[in-house]
Amino acid sequence: MEGRFPLIGEKFPELEVITTHGKIKLPDDYRGKWFILFSHPADFTPVCTTEFVAFQKRYDQFKKLNTELIGLSIDQVFSHIKWVQWIKENLNVEIKFPIIADDTGQVSGKLGLIHPGKGTNTVRAVFIVDPESTIRAILYYPQELGRNMDEILRMIRGFQVSDKNGVAIPANWPNNELVGEEVIVPPAMTEKEAEERLRKYDCFDWWFCHKKI
């Protein structure tokens, strides 16, 4: 099933899904929280298993950032349940977040998770959604490349710092090569602002100023 995937800045589409934790209404059940919906190609596959363990190992860090995790694949719910049991019994890791069972492909179709050349499996997609149900970021990975969960954590932290302080987040933050853990001040819109910023902040030039938070 094909579908135009939602865009950054749009509201996450309203969906009622079956998960390992029962029925969930998206995004309504997560209003007031950030959530990350991530799809994986299939249960009982090596790369996907490493990803679920990696997400679970960081679950407490996500929760401290008011962020919930939701997995998804086109497997049936009993497959998800059995896979979660296998992970607990064999790897000693308990998966505590829900996994959507999308065996009809309807959810994947609406979110654009099934790409040409990849059969009917879902790609490794990540949707980052804010407490207002707005999609803030979308990531796509091919089946052969596992995700970096520390980068996804960094993105949540970066969005929250940006929203709270009205600033931009530099590359590799908080370990940027030019400004370290500092953040970027929005560019001046007038000549007067440009002059003031040079006095108020540390700047490489009037259009490139940074500050501590």
Measured CA to CA in angstroms, residue 197 lies from 44, 58, 138, 188, 201 at distances of 55, 38, 33, 8, 6
CATH number of the domain that residue 197 is part of: 3.30.1020.10
pLDDT(3) > 60: no
pLDDT value, residue 1: 37
What was the pLDDT predicted at 120? 65
Asked if pLDDT for residue 29 goes beyond 90, the answer is yes
Predicted confidence band at 2 (pLDDT cuts at 50, 70, 90)?
very low
Q: Say yes or no: 40 and 82 in one domain.
A: yes
Catalytic residues: 48
pLDDT in tens, 71-122: 998 889 999 999 999 999 999 999 999 999 998 888 888 888 876 665 567 7
pTM exceeding 0.85: yes
Give the residue carrying structure tokens 């049936």: 76
User: What is the pLDDT, as a whole number, of residue 136?
Assistant: 98
pLDDT at 63 over 70: yes
Whether residue 36 is found in the same domain as residue 91? yes
Domain enclosing residue 199, as ranges:
166-213
DSSP-derived 3-state class of residue 144: coil
Specify whether the CB–CB gap between 194 and 200 falls below 8 A. Answer: no
Q: What pLDDT score was predicted for residue 118? A: 56
Average pLDDT for residues 139-164, to the nearest whole number?
95
Question: Of 146, 178, 203, which residue sits at a domain end?
Answer: 146
Q: What is the pLDDT of residue 114?
A: 76
Verify that 98 and 195 share a domain, yes or no. Answer: no
What's the CA gap between 71 and 91, in Å, rounded?
18
Confidence of residue 7 (pLDDT cuts 50, 70, 90): very high
Contact, 40 vs 80, CB < 8 A?
no
Instruction: Tell whether 135 and 171 lie within a shared domain.
Output: no
Phi then psi dihedrals of residue 147, to 5 deg? -85, 160
Q: Does residue 59 sit in the same domain as residue 121? A: yes
Whether residue 158 lies inside any domain: the answer is no
> Does one domain contain both 195 and 120?
no
Mean pLDDT of the 57-72 span: 98
Same domain, 25 and 103: yes
- Work out the mean pLDDT of the chain and round it to a whole number: 93
